[in-house]
């Protein structure tokens, strides 16, 4: 048994030493470091977000300490404490739960390290941090209002469904509220028959939408709180024989949110009527500038809003260049 | 015989004590602790922060909930069972306790007994799930793997559903300051969580090594049929180990909820591999009949050292998973070889 134990020890230490060497290679000394802590890279929005932040920080000469918590609040808290122990100069964080992040903000405050929440604000707290957030409610309201006008012009009554995000995420709540404000103005045309909780989970969304379409086969108006659910929506609508272009019989008036490359492609191909767009480039700029301002001791508001915009079939040509999804789509589809 | 064959002769008498000492060290129950020291020495040039008071304090804080759950799991593994429901117990206990004491529409919101009642409710959840697990294994003769997998799924789902009735968001916040102080406060410089985990560890150690119940646990794990013939109450022993595991998971839920100041239905969701891994790394056998609380302490410490140092290095979560998974796999493989050797002897 002694030999086996020794093999175990040697293998463990060799593996760890090799990994330490690899990670050490990317760790430089003497420059300012920003911790970028995301809760996951579950969609193109977050992948694009961390990529833009990474490139911007590198351009400005910062080192980056990156970590993903895999939607584990406790793990993320430990990552914040590790960043504090590394004496980073700022923390950009995307938390899973708006309540559970509060101890992390307090820890950063105690260590006098500025913390900026990217795209998701924390719950109300005495602890100080800055949140960058899209004006979700207004963006959703504008996009859905366009879709409601399209519905009204059709002269028919429409049954509507909404795919709602995780209710622990204020963004999800605000998008839902924006949708409800818009449809409330068109009560004579739109009747909401299905509010489908997704918990930001693609499988849950697919099952929920499939069930809703079976229970209400005449659904003809759909809003998704995030474009990352587009593949599941497309599959569910195809299965229900409801995947048709604008102007075709059986077209479901479809509104998205986020501004994914897929959303742009669907707009271009005529399957999507409108999409609320978060200005990812602007949000990244706001986040990094907030860290820099806080480091210099300047006063920064607790909430910095990205006004975003709604891209529709009517303004697509004019607005597309501002849409991050269009920029990524264009890179993949040059010419 | 050729001259080179002389290299195959046994070690010279002078070398024997040194070889013996090394063998003793490798077989020592403090081996994993030695491994921790060696690891810290190896990683120090890359992460000098690992030896700062702040990081040591972080490791200690991160260790406590994991240690308490791992102590409960040690009992179950010694009887050759497994408890996969611990993460669901943590989630369920956290949201039930939070719903009792939260300042926002809690059942006992603002009451002086809110916190004690919430603690009792959390313990009750752990003991109740432990009782379901234990009864299913003992009375229905079901494998603990299937039973606890089923209760894990059931209570993980129930915890999320429960929150929808008690909060407009996905977690229950606004917990009383007297409860959240449990994670941040200390007595005579010792954090409350450390003091509680230490007390639980000592109690568990005494229970396993100094009582008749402890001897029953080892006997049931080594050979349940022989234990039954020898008069050991096998059913009662198995039942008690699952109750202990459930109660320990409840205590961990208190630690997580007070630390995050939130009752979350996904609290502890990702720690299952860490818990079982830490116990196995410590040396407790997956085949039952062998294990000690002190080994579990060292296993948890070793896993936390890897985890913390990788975080300090800025390694990706995926890299940390790969390394931890590799170490746990190695430990489990060593355990399997050891078991086969003992069986074939």
Q: Is residue A296 part of a domain?
A: no
R_g (Cα) of chain B, nearest Å = 22
Q: Is residue A256 part of a domain?
A: yes
A121 and A144 in a common domain: no
pLDDT at B25: 62
Partner-chain contact A75 B62, CB within 8 Å: no
pLDDT tens track for A131-182: 999 999 999 999 999 999 999 999 999 999 999 998 767 789 899 999 999 9
Report A:46-65 residues touching B (Cβ under 8 A).
64-65
Partner-chain contact A73 B58, CB within 8 Å: no
pLDDT at B23: 58
Question: How near does any CA of chain B get to the CA of A79, in Å?
Answer: 7
Does position A15 have pLDDT exceeding 60, yes or no?
A: no
Residues forming a β-bridge with A309: A277
Q: With an 8 Å Cβ cutoff, is B48 touching chain A? A: no
pLDDT at A54: 92
Find the distance separating the first CA and the last CA of chain B, reported in whole Å: 33
Please answer whether residues A54 and A37 qualify as being in contact, where contact means their C-beta atoms are separated by less than 8 angstroms.
no
pLDDT tens track for A258-300: 999 999 999 999 999 999 999 988 999 999 999 999 999 999 9
A217 and A118 in a common domain: no
Q: Return the HEC string of A9-52.
A: HHHHHHHHHHHHHHHHHCCCCCCCEEEEEECCCCCHHHHHHHHH
A85 and A148 in a common domain: no
Q: With an 8 Å Cβ cutoff, is A207 touching chain B? A: no
Q: How far apart are CA A296 and CA A311, in angstroms?
A: 37
Does position A6 have pLDDT exceeding 60, yes or no?
A: no
A224 and A157 in a common domain: yes
Where a domain ends, among A109, A128, A147?
A128
Q: Return the HEC string of B305-335.
A: HHHHHHHHCCCCHHHHHHHHHHHHHHHHHHH
pLDDT tens track for B252-292: 999 999 999 999 998 888 899 899 999 998 889 888 999 99
pLDDT at B26: 58
Q: Is residue A91 part of a domain?
A: yes
Nearest to A4 among B268, B269, B337 (CB): B337
Residues of chain B contacting residue A70, judged by C-beta atoms under 8 Å apart: 270, 317
Nearest to B171 among A5, A67, A97 (CB): A97
A197 and A168 in a common domain: yes
Where a domain ends, among A128, A150, A166?
A128
Q: Is residue B24 part of a domain?
A: no
Q: Is residue B116 part of a domain?
A: yes
Q: Where are the alpha helices (DSSP H) in chain A?
A: 2-25, 44-59, 73-85, 102-110, 136-153, 170-184, 202-215, 230-239, 261-269, 280-295, 316-319, 324-332
Q: Is residue B52 part of a domain?
A: no
Partner-chain contact B23 A82, CB within 8 Å: no
Q: Is residue B9 part of a domain?
A: no
Q: How far apart are CA B244 and CA B197, in angstroms?
A: 14
Question: Which residue of chain B comes nearest to A125, CA vs CA?
Answer: B174
Report B:93-152 residues touching A (Cβ under 8 A).
none
A85 and A188 in a common domain: no
Residues of chain A contacting residue B87, judged by C-beta atoms under 8 Å apart: none
Q: Is residue A25 part of a domain?
A: no
As a dihedral over the C-alpha atoms of residue B209, residue B211, residue B214, residue B216, rounded to 10 degrees, the angle is 140
A318 and A214 in a common domain: yes
Q: Is residue A159 part of a domain?
A: yes
What domain range is A202 assigned to? 136-279+311-332
Q: How far apart are CA B99 and CA B171, in angstroms?
A: 10
Please answer whether residues A115 and A127 qualify as being in contact, where contact means their C-beta atoms are separated by less than 8 angstroms.
no
pLDDT at B28: 67
pLDDT at B7: 38
Residues of chain B contacting residue A99, judged by C-beta atoms under 8 Å apart: 169, 171, 173, 260-262, 264
Q: Is residue B178 part of a domain?
A: yes
Report A:271-330 residues touching B (Cβ under 8 A).
none
Please answer whether residues B59 and B122 qualify as being in contact, where contact means their C-beta atoms are separated by less than 8 angstroms.
no
Residue A3 pLDDT grade (very low, low, confident, very high; cuts 50, 70, 90): very low
Neighbouring residues of B191: CB distance < 8 A, sequence distance ≥ 6: B60, B61, B64, B184, B185
pTM (predicted TM-score): 0.79
Q: How far apart are CA A103 and CA A117, in angstroms?
A: 14
**H or E segment at A253?**
strand A253-258
Q: Which residues of chain B have pLDDT under 70?
A: 1-16, 19-20, 22-28, 338-339, 341-345
Please answer whether residues B41 and B309 qualify as being in contact, where contact means their C-beta atoms are separated by less than 8 angstroms.
no
Please answer whether residues A162 and A183 qualify as being in contact, where contact means their C-beta atoms are separated by less than 8 angstroms.
no
Nearest to A204 by CA among A245, A177, A246, A167: A167
Q: With an 8 Å Cβ cutoff, is A19 touching chain B? A: yes
What domain range is B259 assigned to? 64-268
Q: Is residue A7 part of a domain?
A: no
pLDDT at B80: 95
Q: Is residue B4 part of a domain?
A: no
Q: Rounded to an integer, what is the distance from CA A30 to the centroid of its chain?
A: 33
Please answer whether residues A264 and A272 qualify as being in contact, where contact means their C-beta atoms are separated by less than 8 angstroms.
no
A275 and A215 in a common domain: yes
Q: Which two tokens stand for residue B166?
A: 């008690």
When divided into structural domains, chain A yields a total of 2
pLDDT tens track for B36-69: 998 999 989 988 888 998 899 889 989 999 999 9
The residue assigned the tokens 């609508």 is A237
Q: How many CB atoms are located within 10 Å of the residue A265 CB?
A: 17
Residues of chain A contacting residue B47, judged by C-beta atoms under 8 Å apart: 20
Q: Is residue A98 part of a domain?
A: yes
Q: How far apart are CA B197 and CA B75, in angstroms?
A: 16
A177 and A325 in a common domain: yes
Partner-chain contact A79 B311, CB within 8 Å: yes
- In the sheet with A90-93, reading across from the earlier edge strand, the strands are A63-68, A33-38, A90-93, A115-118, A130-134, A303-306
Partner-chain contact B261 A86, CB within 8 Å: no
Mean pLDDT of chain A: 89
Nearest to A16 among B39, B169, B262 (CB): B39
Residues of chain A contacting residue B46, judged by C-beta atoms under 8 Å apart: 20-21, 23-24, 27
Which of A3-12, A70-79, A112-121, B167-176 comes out lowest in average pLDDT? A3-12
- Interface probe for A, chosen from B169, B185, B271 (most Cβ of A below 10 Å), is B169
Q: Is residue A286 part of a domain?
A: no
Q: Is residue B91 part of a domain?
A: yes
Please answer whether residues B148 and B120 qualify as being in contact, where contact means their C-beta atoms are separated by less than 8 angstroms.
no
pLDDT at B270: 86
Residues A3-12, mean pLDDT to the nearest whole number: 48
Question: Which residue of chain A comes nearest to B168, CA vs CA?
Answer: A167
Nearest to B252 by CA among B33, B7, B71, B42: B71
Q: With an 8 Å Cβ cutoff, is A84 touching chain B? A: yes
A102 and A48 in a common domain: yes
Where a domain ends, among A71, A96, A128?
A128
């Amino acid at each position: 048994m002694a030999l086996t134990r020794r093999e175990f020890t040697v293998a463990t230490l060799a593996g760890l030493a090799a990994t330490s060497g690899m990670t050490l290679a990317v760790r430089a000394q003497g420059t300012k470091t920003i911790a970028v802590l995301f809760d996951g890279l579950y969609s193109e929005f977050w992948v694009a977000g961390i990529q833009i932040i990474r490139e911007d920080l590198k351009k400005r000469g910062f080192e980056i300490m990156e970590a993903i918590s895999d939607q584990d609040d406790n793990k993320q808290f430990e990552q914040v404490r590790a960043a504090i122990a590394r004496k980073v100069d700022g923390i950009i964080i995307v938390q899973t739960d708006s309540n559970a992040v509060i101890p992390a903000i307090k820890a950063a405050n105690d260590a006098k390290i500025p913390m900026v929440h990217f795209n998701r604000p924390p719950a109300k707290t005495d602890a100080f941090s800055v949140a960058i957030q899209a004006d979700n409610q207004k963006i959703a309201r504008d996009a859905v209002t366009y879709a409601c006008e399209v519905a009204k012009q059709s002269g028919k009554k429409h049954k509507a469904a909404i795919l709602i995000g995780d209710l622990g995420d204020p963004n999800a709540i605000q998008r839902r509220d924006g949708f409800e404000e818009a449809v409330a103005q068109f009560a004579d045309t739109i009747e909401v028959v299905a509010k489908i909780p997704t918990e930001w989970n693609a499988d849950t969304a697919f099952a929920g939408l499939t069930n809703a379409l079976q229970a209400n086969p005449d659904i003809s108006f759909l809003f998704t709180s995030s474009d990352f659910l587009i593949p599941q929506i497309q599959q569910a609508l195809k299965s229900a024989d409801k995947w048709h272009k604008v102007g075709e019989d059986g077209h479901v008036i479809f509104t998205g949110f986020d501004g994914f490359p897929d959303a742009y492609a669907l707009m271009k191909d005529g399957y999507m009527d409108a999409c609320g767009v978060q200005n990812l480039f602007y949000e990244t700029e706001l986040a990094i500038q907030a860290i820099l301002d806080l480091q210099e001791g300047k006063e920064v508001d607790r909430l910095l809003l990205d006004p975003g915009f709604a891209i529709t079939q009517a303004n697509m040509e004019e607005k597309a260049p501002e849409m991050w999804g269009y920029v990524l789509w264009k890179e993949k589809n040059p010419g | 015989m050729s001259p080179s064959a002389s290299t195959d002769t046994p070690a010279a008498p002078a070398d024997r004590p040194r070889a013996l000492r090394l063998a003793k060290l490798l077989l020592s129950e403090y081996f994993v602790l030695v491994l921790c020291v060696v690891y810290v020495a190896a990683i120090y040039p890359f992460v000098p922060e690992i030896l700062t008071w702040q990081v040591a304090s972080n490791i200690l804080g991160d260790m406590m909930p994991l240690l308490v759950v791992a102590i409960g799991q040690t009992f179950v593994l010694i009887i050759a069972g497994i408890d996969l429901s611990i993460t669901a117990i943590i989630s369920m206990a956290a949201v039930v306790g939070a719903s009792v004491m939260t300042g926002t529409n809690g059942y006992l919101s603002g009451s002086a007994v809110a916190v004690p009642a919430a603690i009792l409710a959390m313990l009750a959840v752990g003991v109740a799930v432990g009782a379901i697990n234990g009864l299913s294994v003992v009375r229905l003769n079901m494998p603990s793997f299937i039973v606890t997998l089923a209760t894990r799924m059931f209570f993980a789902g129930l915890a999320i559903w429960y929150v929808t009735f008690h909060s407009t968001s996905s977690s229950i916040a606004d917990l009383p300051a007297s409860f959240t102080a449990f994670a941040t406060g200390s007595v005579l410089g010792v954090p409350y969580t450390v003091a509680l985990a230490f007390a639980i560890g000592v109690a568990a150690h005494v229970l396993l090594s100094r009582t008749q119940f402890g001897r029953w646990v080892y006997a049931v794990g080594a050979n349940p049929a022989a234990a039954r013939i020898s008069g050991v109450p096998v059913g009662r022993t198995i039942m008690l180990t699952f109750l202990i595991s459930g109660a320990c998971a409840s205590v961990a839920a208190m630690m997580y909820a007070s630390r995050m100041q939130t009752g979350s239905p996904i609290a502890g969701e990702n720690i299952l591999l860490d818990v079982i891994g830490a116990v196995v790394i410590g040396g407790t056998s997956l085949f039952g009949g062998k294990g000690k609380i002190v080994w579990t302490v060292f296993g948890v410490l070793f896993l936390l050292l890897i985890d913390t140092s990788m975080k300090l290095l800025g390694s990706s979560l995926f890299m940390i998973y790969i390394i931890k998974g590799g170490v746990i796999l190695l430990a489990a493989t060593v355990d399997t070889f050891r078991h086969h050797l003992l069986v074939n002897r």
